[in-house]
Amino acid sequence: MQAPLVSASSQVRRYGHWIDGQPVATATHIQRVGPQSDDVVAEFSNGSDSDAARAIQSARRAFDEGPWPKLSGTERANVLNRWADLVLLNLDHLVQIEIAEAGKTIRVAKGDLEGTVALMRYAAALCHQLSGEAFTDFGSALQAMVIHEPVGVVAAIVPWNFPTIIFAQKVPFALAAGCTVVVKPSELTSGTAYELARLATQAGLPNGALNVVMGYGDPVGQHLVQSQDVDMVSFTGSTATGRRVLKGQEVNFKRVSLELGGKSAAIVFDDCDIEAAVEGVLFSIFMHSGQLCCAGSRLLVQNGIAPRFLEALIERAEQLKIGLLEDPSTDFGPVVSEVQLQSLKRFVARAKAQGATILSGGDTADSRSESATYVGASRTFLPTILDNVECSMEVFDEEAFGPILSVTRFATEDEAVRLANMSKYGLAGSVWTTNMRRAFDIAGKVRTGTMEINTSLEGQPQLPFGGFRTSGIGREKGKAGLEEFTEIKTVAFRLEARPPFFGAK
Ligand code: NDP
């Protein structure tokens, strides 16, 4: 099916919702001013309560009456694999949307789309793995089995930083489990969600099994969270909104998975391979301008190596190439919006007022002569390194959600672990050392959902992802990411009549 949506006059893409296997136009739209300039790059439907209700009803019908939950694993896998093929065929178009709406460099955008395809194919493979348990040791008269059933209608609420990857960490896994889905993308980056849903229909996904409803968190997101017809909310975003999602369940107790914020520590020891550690730390905080929940935004560095390490890190940070997003040699781009930019400026000003020292960055790229002429320079926050950060400062444990690295020094292993665990979050982290005993010891002691040794941001589909403490509830990806979208049911069956429990009639 060919759906719109390039408005002929302006070449600004205009999107409707995607409901019940077709585009749904709306009267009003939200204009997306792109990250790089004041140009409008897309217009998204400004969804209402009734649009959200319509999308939920479509998913409800598709779950209760439709074929999708009843198909065999093989049939579901075939659709997901065809979907992945179509995403690959349309990769360049999707990459352009990511560049325009999310402000990604072409390398990051391509990596995201390739990662999306990999997640879809992995979820397709998992379609064959929804197995249960059989219990046959209750005596000859009784047996039981424990099975996984799809949880039902899933509301997938997606943020702006990784519109396709986060979509793909949720939706193909929910579909693989036999659920039907309503996606609410961020009102800043809704284009790829629409395109992915359109391609899913083209791949043979039954109408209503995947719907996209655009608009603001209030009313659209809120409607999804509160609706009695939604069985599960899978949310990624800020810890504050995650709390609101949980609060919304005081009445209807639907299943909730939350993937929230983080303040992950990169722990660098004196005996590390310094070149590898510098590159790993650099990548984990400055990839996509630090706008990722699992960014390594706290550097804990051992006293002996600190001066040498910081010197090398600053040199590399200042070499990152700021330029046209479409240029494959560009390393670093603008932040997602003016709101986010102003928030980063205030964050650095407060850190400075509390005693942090700016070693590099701290301002927008137009302050640097070599990048001042780049079109998005005034919206690009430079890679920023803040030294002398104490545990009592805001920057030590608050998420900036931008390219801001805080530096704290330590003397011993125990101190490193204590500092890493001094956080309300528990999403990710890395340790850099050539001493493997120490590396595994620390990986076990740091209270986070992911710990990486001598590497950072490994996002393979097989590896579950999620957080401890206020970083969230539940896991995405991996086998756990499939089971997340299932309910466990016990089915017990008697092969012979049970002896009466009560006395004779
Ligand atoms: P939010 O948590 O506000 O938004 C995430 C998603 O939830 C968006 O689709 C949003 O819609 C939706 N939403 C907002 N309010 C509600 C609600 N009451 N009920 C249901 N859904 C709702 O994050 P922001 O995008 O505003 O970013 C703010 C901060 O969140 C960032 O600065 C960053 O610190 C953090 N963040 C964390 C992410 C992560 O991966 N953990 C990802 C993105 C942001 P809409 O925005 O369209 O109104």
Residue 5 falls inside a structural domain: no
Looking at the fold, whether 226 and 280 belong to one and the same domain comes out as no
Residues 224 and 348 in one domain: no
- The CATH number of whichever domain residue 310 belongs to comes to 3.40.309.10
Active-site annotation, residues: 259, 293
In whole angstroms, give the CA distance from residue 35 to residue 28. Answer: 22
Compute, in angstroms, the gap from residue 405 CA to the centroid of ligand 1. Answer: 22
The span from the CA of 436 to the CA of 432, in Å, is: 10
Q: Is residue 496 part of a domain?
A: no
Residue 465, token pair as written in the block: 């992802």
Whether residue 380 is contained in a domain is answered as: yes
Task: Judge whether residue 5 has pLDDT over 60.
Answer: no
> What are the distances in angstroms from CA 306 to CA 202, 269, 356, 417, 451?
54, 9, 16, 17, 22
Do 330 and 438 belong together in one domain? yes
Instruction: List residues bridging with 476 in a β-sheet.
Output: 465
Specify if 166 maps to a domain.
yes
7-11, 89-93, 157-161: which has the minimum mean pLDDT? Answer: 7-11
Task: Say what the pLDDT of residue 504 is.
Answer: 75
Q: Tell me: pLDDT of 133 over 60.
A: yes
pLDDT of residue 163: 98
Out of 157, 230, 297, mutate this one to test ligand 1's pocket (max ligand atoms within 8 Å of CB): namely 157
Q: Are 30 and 48 in contact (CB under 8 A)?
A: no
Residues 322 and 228 both lie in one domain: no
**Ligand 1 centroid distance, CA of 238 (Å):** 5
Q: Please, are residues 486 and 176 in contact by the beta-carbon 8 Å criterion?
A: no
Nearest residue (by CA) to ligand 1, atom 16, is 217
3-state class of 275 per DSSP?
Answer: helix
Q: What is the mean pLDDT of residues 454-466?
A: 97
Q: Does 169 share its domain with 220?
A: yes
* Residue 390, both tokens: 């104490």
Q: Residue 370 is part of which domain span?
A: 265-453
Residues 65 and 212 in one domain: yes
pLDDT score recorded for residue 363: 95
Atom number, ligand 1, closest to the C-alpha of residue 158: 9
Ligand 1: atom nearest CA of 222 is: 19
430 domain residue, yes or no: yes
Does any domain span residue 10?
no
Q: Considering the domain boundaries, does residue 40 fall inside one?
A: yes
Q: Which residue has the tokens 């995403």?
A: 87
Q: Which residue's CA is minimally distant from atom 46 of ligand 1?
A: 186
Nearest-atom number in ligand 1 for the CA of 166 is 40
The answer to whether residue 497 sits within a structural domain is no
**Residue 189: C-alpha distances to residues 94, 129, 229 (Å):** 12, 33, 26
Distance CA 60, CA 57 (A): 5
Residue nearest ligand 1's atom 34 by CA: 401
Check whether residue 208 and residue 278 sit in a common domain: no
* Site to substitute for ligand 1 among 32, 234, 241, most atoms within 8 A of C-beta: 241
The arithmetic mean of pLDDT across residues 46-66, rounded, is: 97
Co-location of 137 and 211 in the same domain: yes
Q: Do 366 and 377 contact (CB within 8 A), yes or no?
A: yes
Neighbours of 238 (CB within 10 A): 15
442 shares a domain with 486: no
Say whether both 284 and 383 belong to one domain: yes
Residues 6+ apart with CB under 8 A from 482: 123, 126, 129, 130, 173, 176, 177
We report the CATH number of the domain holding residue 200 as 3.40.605.10
Residue 4: pLDDT band (50, 70, 90) is very low
Last residue within a domain, chosen from 453, 475, 499: 453
3-state secondary structure of 422: coil
β-sheet bridge partners, residue 340: none
Q: In this structure, are 249 and 286 located in the same domain?
A: no
Nearest ligand 1 atom, CA 185: 9
| Span 276-331, pLDDT tens digits | 999 999 999 999 999 999 999 999 999 999 999 999 999 999 999 999 999 999 99
pLDDT for the residue 352: 98
Same domain, 271 and 289: yes
- Closest-CA residue, ligand 1 atom 40, reads 293
Q: For residues 197 and 205, what is the distance between their CA atoms, to the nearest angstrom?
A: 9
DSSP E strand boundaries for 384-464: 384-387, 404-410, 429-432, 452-453
Sign of torsion, CA 342 345 347 353? negative
As for ligand 1, residues whose beta carbon falls within 6 Å of it are: 157-161, 184, 186-187, 216-218, 221-222, 225, 236-238, 241, 244-245, 259-261, 293, 399, 401
Contact 301, 407 (CB under 8 A): yes
Q: How many domains in the chain?
A: 2
pLDDT at 9 over 50: no
